[in-house]
Amino acid sequence: MRIQTLLLLFCLVLPQLSPAAGPPTNQDFPQGVSSISPGSELWREIRQRDGAILEGTSQVKSVDSGVLINARGEEWARFRVTKLSSYGGIAIAAIFVIVILLYVVRGKILIDGGLSGRMVRRFTDYERIVHWTLAIVFLFLAITGLILLLGKPLLIPLFGKEVFSVFASASKEGHNLFGPLFLVSLVMMFLSFARRNIYEKGDLTWLLKGGGIIGDGHVSGGFFNMGEKTWYWMVILIGFVIAISGLILVSPVFGQGRWIMELSHVVHTIGALILITVSVGHMYLGSIGSEGAMEGMKSGYVDINWADAHHDRWGKVCHDENLIVSAEEYARLQGRKPGDSGELATEQGK
């Protein structure tokens, strides 16, 4: 015990007894130690400052267990905070501004001749269930995801750290739980709508005219127009990428390393931000932005004038095959009283 105490004292006092009062130089280490501070070299190696992967050995046998400090993790964390969060927040804010400006400047897209009240079946009950299931799950995931991504800079100043921690915990649990439901809904969506969303002749014209936003008048379209088809394939393809990357993140038990998790997170977030941003436009055009559009996903029927205006090629099929139901018949199908039959028709359309 005494010997140990003496040794400790010796180690502590020895540097103080050194005749060189200034910082040590290379000459102070004549035995071949080339560094001023060997510790800094060691930590530089461990932190992988030079980009070299340094993996040691460990008794813990798991992925990345030999890596003491993951420098790339810091890069990812910095990228998340400085780029993903800030640019993501700007993108979300920008789309709302664009939609509001569009509504103020362009106004609601009206149908020439107004609504007639005569309807045509567009979606079955099942198709609407699939659409709304995906929509509900997507909205829940979007809100919880945005709380996790933007909550720190936006919610902490508003509610404080303690309340935010409750929000964040709830959002994380809800997000992880609902994530797989998004994949299920996506598969349902793919199986229900894929065939009708295959691109066909005439779709490009729709794109070149900006779906009718550029210039006056409506552009030609089939059952789904080019914009709807593109949105559909975005949802399917980006949605699958989001779902798979989400599953990688939520189940870190399949041997995926840190860099795969970091990559998945970045891909997951960017994909989600793209879908959220475009979905705002989709929601706008499907509701207040376009006259008569909401009815299709509400009742399954759309006004024939709406079909002729936005999907003229499909509208022609409806005319040719006599698929149009009268306002009275539509009211009966919806369980309304006969007197309510014309509630959808505008004076102009009658």
Does 177 sit near another protein (CB under 8 A)?
yes
Among 10, 96, 132, 199, binds another protein (CB under 8 A): 132
Half-sphere exposure of 297 (CA within 13 A, CB side): 14
Among 151, 300, 315, 349, binds another protein (CB under 8 A): 300
Residue 171 vs 269, nearer CB to another protein: 171
Among 20, 81, 94, 166, binds another protein (CB under 8 A): 166
Among 33, 42, 53, 129, binds another protein (CB under 8 A): 129
Does 138 sit near another protein (CB under 8 A)?
no
- Only one of the segments 18-26, 79-87, 180-188, 313-321 lies at the binding site for another protein (rule: CB under 8 A); that segment is 180-188
- Only one of the segments 83-91, 212-220, 308-316, 328-336 lies at the binding site for another protein (rule: CB under 8 A); that segment is 328-336
Task: Please list every residue from 81 through 100 that binds another protein, using CB under 8 A.
Answer: none
Pick from 283, 266, 243, 306: which is nearest to 117 by CA?
A: 306
Does 296 sit near another protein (CB under 8 A)?
no
- Only one of the segments 11-19, 37-45, 54-62, 171-179 lies at the binding site for another protein (rule: CB under 8 A); that segment is 171-179
- SS in 3 state form for 114-132? CCCCCEEECCCHHHHHHHH
Does 256 sit near another protein (CB under 8 A)?
no
Q: How far is CA 32 from the centre of its chain?
A: 56
Among 180, 202, 257, 281, binds another protein (CB under 8 A): 180
Does 169 sit near another protein (CB under 8 A)?
yes
Collect all residues with Cβ–Cβ distance below 8 Å to 74 and sequence separation of at least 6.
none
Site pattern 183..212 for another protein (x: CB under 8 A): -x----------------------------
Pick from 34, 33, 36: which is nearest to 23 by CA?
A: 36
Instruction: Report DSSP letters for 202-243, one per residue.
Output: THHHHHHTGGGTSSSSPPP--SS-HHHHHHHHHHHHHHHHHH
How far is residue 227 from each of residues 164, 202, 286, measured CA to CA in Å? 38, 12, 12
Does 178 sit near another protein (CB under 8 A)?
yes
Taking the C-alpha atoms of residue 147 and residue 243, their distance in angstroms, rounded to an integer, is 18
Among 81, 126, 208, 213, binds another protein (CB under 8 A): 126
CB-based contact 69:47 (threshold 8 Å) = yes
Report the alpha-carbon angle 158-162-164, nearest 5.
55
Does 335 sit near another protein (CB under 8 A)?
yes
Strand pairing partners for 289?
none
N residues, the chain: 350
Q: CB 242 → another protein: shortest distance, Å?
A: 17
User: Which parts of this chain interact with another protein (CB under 8 A)?
Assistant: 125-126, 128-129, 132-133, 136-137, 165-166, 169-174, 177-178, 180-181, 184, 299-300, 333-335
